[in-house]
Amino acid sequence: MNEYDVLSVFCGPDGRHGNALGVVRDGSRIPDPDERQTFAAKLGFSETVFVDDPERGVIDIYTPSTRLPFAGYPCVGAAWLLDVPELVVPAGVVGARLDGEFTWIEARAEWAPPRTVRQYGSAAEVDALAVPPEGEWVYAWAWEDEAAGRVRARGFPGRGDGVEEDEATGAAALLLTSQLDRALNIRQGKGSQLLTAPQPDGYVEVGGRVRLL
């Protein structure tokens, strides 16, 4: 098996939780897309990143079942690991910066893969949700404190590839921020934290804590 790192992305304030991300630092070890897909499926994380050029920040992102042109939490994790000012993904150039304990990316909402963003009446309703049927990517959310921009969210990929619930989802947070056009403090999954802020010209910043597992 090829060497890889595992990061936890969007950790909570106590350093726990976050979404596990596989990172193959030397993407040249697995150059073939089909082999990359097989390797990502074997690891079984929500997403796995292959670094093709660490200095330029060129990365390739896979779920256990498909290749993605852009994804949020893999970009945040890669930005933290590579410490570069930008990342290059098929969707475009993603801005990146480290600010204290938080790593931030800047991307466009239209780069996010399609998903259903569904609002509920309370955080308790989101907490009580069962995993929905496969077939659509559902991002369920509710206000915890609307005035403060605090959101409770859960993400259900619905791909049928073994990942029933995403612990933290940067692309969905980016979509919600774009729809609401305001900064958000999102608590997702069991205790992950995502911070977001709209930026000029249709961009959104998404940030969180990253640690090496």
What pTM, to 2 d.p., does this model score? 0.95
Q: Determine the pLDDT at residue 1.
A: 46
Domains defined along the chain, listed by start: 5-108 (3.10.310.10), 111-200 (3.10.310.10)
Position 2 scores a pLDDT of 54
One pLDDT digit (tens) per residue for the chain, 213 residues? 458 999 999 999 999 999 999 999 999 999 999 999 999 999 999 999 999 999 999 999 999 999 999 999 999 999 999 999 999 999 999 999 999 999 999 999 999 988 999 999 999 999 999 999 999 999 999 999 999 999 999 999 998 999 999 999 999 999 999 999 999 999 999 999 999 999 999 999 999 999 999
pLDDT, position 68: 96
What are the structure tokens assigned to 182, written together? 């305001």
CA distance 187 to 213: 21
Q: Which helix (H) or strand (E) holds 171?
A: helix 170-180
Distance of alpha carbon 64 from alpha carbon 200, whole angstroms? 34
Question: What contacts 199, CB < 8 A, 6 or more positions away?
Answer: 106, 205
**Cβ burial, residue 180 (10 Å; 0-12/13-18/19+):** middle
Per-residue confidence (pLDDT) for residue 149, from 0 to 100: 98
With beta carbons less than 8 A apart as the criterion, state whether 170 and 75 touch: yes
